Structure 1
Amino acid sequence: VYSHADWDHCWGTSGLIADTVIAHEACAKRFRSGDVANRLAEKQTEAPGQWDAVKLIPPTLTFTKTLTVDLGGVLVELHHLPGHTEDCIVAWIPQWGVLLAGDTVETPLPYFNTESAALLPQWISALEGWGTTPRMNVVVPAHGEVGDRSLIERTVTYLRDVQAGKTPIVPADMTAFYSETHTKNQALMQSHP
């Protein structure tokens, strides 16, 4: 299952044995449009030889809103949640109370771009809905530490603050990557119409 078509979420699939690769229809569109292949070409130019073994595997089964998959008696509900990208999804495992959040929740803070900025109202609204899901015990972001529903609450607060032009409270001990991400997020929202 691809959470979305960013390189760090879909380039390793050729190393697995899988007849079915599931993703949102917008993810498949990114493969068809050349977006995924173009990003690979960029990486190959930046670091010759490093990415030569990557074989892009497009989704074979897509959905638009929700899809439930039975993994040997464990039901996993895949839900579209545009935000970080248009094609983002989350996976909800109700019997375990686990939300696999992909890049819709990230610790210590989410990364976004021009596309994300345009999707911010949808992203916030969808996360607020997930934040009230009964029985949610665990939230697993694709990047960062595993936590509980408070990860969703912190992400929503951060997104709302940045959207409103406020200075969000962020951890003082963030890595350089996340400090830079925070600065870029704020600048992007200031320039976004």
Structure 2
Amino acid sequence: MLRLDVVIASTRPGRVGKAVADWFYPVASEHGAFDARLVDLAEMNLPLLDEPNHPRMQKYQHEHTRRWAETVDAADAFVFVVPEYNFGPTPALTNALNYLYLEWNYKAAGFVSYGGASGGLRSVQATKPLLTTLKMMPLVEQVMVPMVNQHLQDGVFESNDYHRDSAQAMLDELERWAGALKPLRAS
């Protein structure tokens, strides 16, 4: 079974990402191909990149980096639950990605994006070049949630058929890519 980390990329108080991730995580778990884990960047509490050595060297000086490296290294694939901040990704996600290098290599990544009219699409598009630099495979298939506040009821995200169908298509494709990339990590 492939390990899938569902990463909540927003860390700010009052965030919507936790509610969206709380909806998506069981969908990923029930898919059948993944041992899904929920990873909250707010709980990881990574400071602004504070390692003196280049991540490629893996000479981590801090316990928070070693803990983050173990988490990322154990996963076969990722789904980033992302909002859009000023047309881009959250600083927490960019920071978390930049902390490591080899641990990300040859892993597939999907997105559940949310926001206003754009549904977080600009954030996803701005994140993809960083993922490819880390030798990751960002998928075309994703879940996009425009006007996310219209889908919140008492703090709980309520999906519709479009969200559920998009999630299924993304998870199916994520299974294909994660499985195909696994031999590259073994060599």
TM-score (norm 1): 0.30
**Which has the higher Rg, Structure 1 or Structure 2?**
1
Structure with bigger RCO (C-alpha 8 Å, 6+ apart): 2
More helix by share: 2
